[in-house]
Copies of this chain bind each other. A is one copy, B any other.
Amino acid sequence: MTTFEKNFTTEEYERRLAKTRAAMSKKGLDAIFVSDPSNMSWLTGYDGWSFYVFQGVILTLEGEPVWWGRAMDALGARRTVFMDGEDAIRGYDDTYVQNPDKHPMEDLAGLLGELGLEDKRIGVEMDNYYYSATAHECLKKKLSKATLKDVTGLVNWQRAVKSEREIEYMQRAARIVEAMHEQILEVAEPGMRKNDLIAEIYATGIRGAYGYWGDYPAIVPMAPSGLDATAPHLTWDDRPLEIGEATFFEIAGAHRRYQCPQSRTLFLGEVPQKYRDAEAAVLDAIEAGLEKAKPGNQAQDIANAFNATLNKAGFEKDSRCGYAIGISYPPDWGERTISFRRGDTSVLEPGMTFHFMPALWLDDGGLEITEPILITDDGHECLCSTPRELWVKG
């Protein structure tokens, strides 16, 4: 939300549109309807917590994109998107909102018709959070002469290589997540209620760092302790931090919707040997993985090097160990394109950003030591300088 200063220049949005249109043309599409909030924002600048109602961006092969959503959110669109045209923002009546008797897609079908697309080839993001099965059936029925094609991921893939300004925002988010981890290490102590610690994490993240304001992360802080940390996605309650338990902190700094996630693990009290062994194995495996993080290599090269090193030390991890990151909205801070795992042959390019996320779950806790990285011209750069080790206190 920046009325006096847009997040990006109009030229940058135009470059994004051109890239996206090239991908559309390749697929023989006349238009796409984009409902992923991250894609909407990347294409137009739109920023608002309105994705709980149906909305999207219509992009044809020429002209300005069209923002479409609830009428009351059209005002927020006017304040955030780069487009100036009167017709670039179209709102639907409030009676369409969460009303079983009518569906917003009826309104969208009318608008697509008005734009001359009623018998055209239109791409829709069929496997997205904010495009439901009902939405698709309604649109298909109302636009019976059009051909609807699945373009899940089409815009996401255009986002993979970041611009200079995007990298700058991710670096600011990196400064913020560093500050969050510093604050954890500073204030966490035995007996502290978990929610009080989460409050500190949130406050630090949103105050920001080095004068860069903190935006909301696309996932809330995850900080399970002890046995709860054998499960990856539990959030928090008020149980106190205890001696003899590890707590992992899977958190992200965010700036202008750009996300920089990084995890660290804190052990309170004397560290059991198996945690030291796990730490040593993970640190070696991270080094092995990072060595493969360079242009021309494939995403799976990082995973394979990481896993081979981990296995040699007697540990196993059977889930992916990284994914692309950038601009994002809840419920996920990943880009849902490239994954670090066996079989992912995506080729790394300079300007791509990833969360290298080698979490290890043990029988009585979890260990997460992770690194957000940027692929550079001749290798990679870790976005954060947070000390890479198991933290110990108390």
A273 interfacial contact with B, CB 8 Å: no
Pairs across A and B, CB under 8 Å, 26 listed: A3-B227, A49-B331, A50-B232, A52-B332, A72-B231, A72-B232, A73-B233, A75-B230, A76-B231, A79-B231, A97-B319, A97-B339, A100-B153, A126-B132, A126-B134, A127-B134, A129-B130, A132-B132, A133-B136, A134-B150, A195-B206, A195-B214, A199-B203, A200-B203, A215-B235, A330-B330
> Contacts A127-B135, A133-B126, A136-B133; is A234 near B1 (CB within 8 Å)?
yes
Cα–Cα, bound, A24→B239 (Å): 38
A144 interfacial contact with B, CB 8 Å: no
Over the window 108-149 of chain A, the binary record of Cβ atoms lying under 8 Å from chain B Cβ atoms (1 yes, 0 no) is 000000000000000010111111111111000000000000
B193 contacts A198, C-beta separation under 8 Å: no
A87 interfacial contact with B, CB 8 Å: no
A132 contacts B134, C-beta separation under 8 Å: no
CB distance from A257 to the nearest CB of B (A): 9
Over the window 75-97 of chain A, the binary record of Cβ atoms lying under 8 Å from chain B Cβ atoms (1 yes, 0 no) is 11011100000000000001101
A220 interfacial contact with B, CB 8 Å: yes
> Contacts A195-B206, A232-B72; is A320 near B134 (CB within 8 Å)?
no
A311 interfacial contact with B, CB 8 Å: no
Cα–Cα, bound, A124→B137 (Å): 14
Number of copies: 2
B129 contacts A97, C-beta separation under 8 Å: no
CB distance from A18 to the nearest CB of B (A): 24
A306 interfacial contact with B, CB 8 Å: no
Cα–Cα, bound, A176→B298 (Å): 49
The contact of A195 among B135, B150, B195, B208, by CB within 8 Å, is: B208
Chain B residues within an 8 Å CB radius of A1: 224, 228, 234-237
CB distance from A52 to the nearest CB of B (A): 4
Cα–Cα, bound, A97→B233 (Å): 15
B124 contacts A133, C-beta separation under 8 Å: yes
